[in-house]
Amino acid sequence: MNALQYRHYNLPIEFPVIAFIGSNWTVTEEAPAVYHFHNCMEIGRCNTGSGTVHTFLGSFPYHEGDLLILPGYTAHTLQSEKGTQSRWEFFYFDPGRLFPGHYAAELTEDSRLFAMSESFCPVIASLSNPLLADSIHSCFREFHEKQVRYRDLIRGDLLVFLVQFLRLAPALTLEEMHSSHKVLTVFPAIQHISSCYGDKLDIPALAEMCHISPTHFRRLFHAVMGTGPLEYINHTRIHAACRQLLTDHAPVGEIAKNCGFATLSSFNRTFRQLFSASPSQWKKEHAQARDYNSILSLDTEGTSEIFSL
């Protein structure tokens, strides 16, 4: 089994989408030794060149003009044809945060946004699905031009994209939803932490979700995520608290409780460990940063194996 790397993207609060555009994103002919995955959907466009997208479910050829659609938590890597390079652009988004509430819940909670079916090809030729392709190309165009209210247009395009994608993507079988391919065995725990970080979480219960022992769960979780489950839980909770600190007027103690911390002192201690500042100090420093985001990997080694910048 290839090595895995988890790359966590803290997407902007008010508009949870980030784009890597321009001509710098070059995929080389070298086969990266490390597969990686994200906590959000990945959309790519091959602007020049050709090669192969590798996932744990198979390998898929791509050519100039093709689109790449990867559900969250899909382990993958890219490789150009021998003796060549290919240039890509990408954007990443969180459907649940982009379309909050009940309006699009049926879309954003669909399991196909978090796991890829064995019968789905993530590489799509633009001409094979014009409506889906048009929505993606429109997003890239808006990211480049950034005209007035471009975010509103991107939000609309991504709603069209989600509908078209779910029409196209095969439904997951029960076996596939529990398959070791889906960020492998620990995927149920990762998904539960992401959606229930405010609840009481303990290792035995998370291990049971994954149908493995607590000892094996800790070891496997660290191997996949680059950090232990307790550290990952705290990481998730603190960054959820950061969003609330910038968007809510609730007291710090209430935010700490909402994010799963039993006491204010444990919240403050964990927050300071991650940011070297108290929550109130951090809030003052970032009061105007409504688009607070950073690209963080819990294991950054090997990034240069993916792109030649």
The single residue listed with the structure tokens 């990945």 is 42
CB 30 within 8 A of CB 24: no
Quote the pLDDT of residue 255. 94
Quote the pLDDT of residue 10. 78
Q: Which residues does 220 contact at the CB level (< 8 Å), separation at least 6?
A: 184, 185, 186, 212
Check whether residue 145 and residue 17 sit in a common domain: yes
Check whether residue 167 and residue 18 sit in a common domain: yes
The model's pLDDT over 127-183, given as tens digits with 9 standing for 90+, comes to: 899 999 999 999 999 999 999 999 999 999 999 999 999 999 888 776 666 554 445
CA dihedral 219, 221, 225, 230 (to 10 degrees): -100
Q: Is pLDDT above 80 for 52?
A: yes
Binned at pLDDT 50, 70 and 90, residue 289 comes out as low
Going from the C-alpha of 142 to that of each of 24, 153, 303, the distances in angstroms are 18, 8, 27
Let me know if residue 302 belongs to a domain.
Answer: no
Check whether residue 194 and residue 243 sit in a common domain: yes
Check whether residue 120 and residue 51 sit in a common domain: yes
Q: Is pLDDT above 50 for 295?
A: no
The model's pLDDT over 20-49, given as tens digits with 9 standing for 90+, comes to: 998 778 999 987 778 888 889 999 999 999
Q: Which residues of 246-256 are buried (b: 16+ CB within 10 A; e: fewer)?
A: beeeeebeebb
Look at residues 175, 194, 226 and tell me which one is the last residue of a structural domain.
175
Quote the pLDDT of residue 296. 39
Both structure tokens of 171: 């439904």
User: What average pLDDT does the structure give for the chain?
Assistant: 84
CA proximity to 9, closest of 235, 256, 267: 235
Quote the pLDDT of residue 188. 82
Quote the pLDDT of residue 176. 63
Q: Is pLDDT above 80 for 225?
A: no
Q: What is the mean pLDDT of residues 43-59?
A: 93
Check whether residue 155 and residue 207 sit in a common domain: no
Quote the pLDDT of residue 81. 95
Going from the C-alpha of 288 to that of each of 148, 274, 292, the distances in angstroms are 21, 20, 9
Quote the pLDDT of residue 175. 67
Number of structural domains found in the chain: 2
Quote the pLDDT of residue 53. 95
SS3 state of residue 96 = helix
Check whether residue 15 and residue 134 sit in a common domain: yes
55 or 104: which leads in pLDDT: 55
Q: What is the mean pLDDT of residues 227-237?
A: 90
Quote the pLDDT of residue 132. 95
Q: The domain spanning residue 142 has which CATH number?
A: 2.60.120.10
Check whether residue 50 and residue 156 sit in a common domain: yes
Let me know if residue 8 belongs to a domain.
Answer: yes
Q: Print the domain residue range for 200.
A: 183-290
Q: What is the mean pLDDT of residues 201-210?
A: 93
The model's pLDDT over 175-194, given as tens digits with 9 standing for 90+, comes to: 666 554 445 678 788 878 88
Rounded CA separation 104/110 (Å): 10
Let me know if residue 298 belongs to a domain.
Answer: no
102 or 58: which leads in pLDDT: 58
pTM above 0.85, yes or no: no
Lowest-pLDDT range, 66-75, 202-211, 290-299?
290-299
Let me know if residue 296 belongs to a domain.
Answer: no
Q: Is pLDDT above 50 for 223?
A: yes
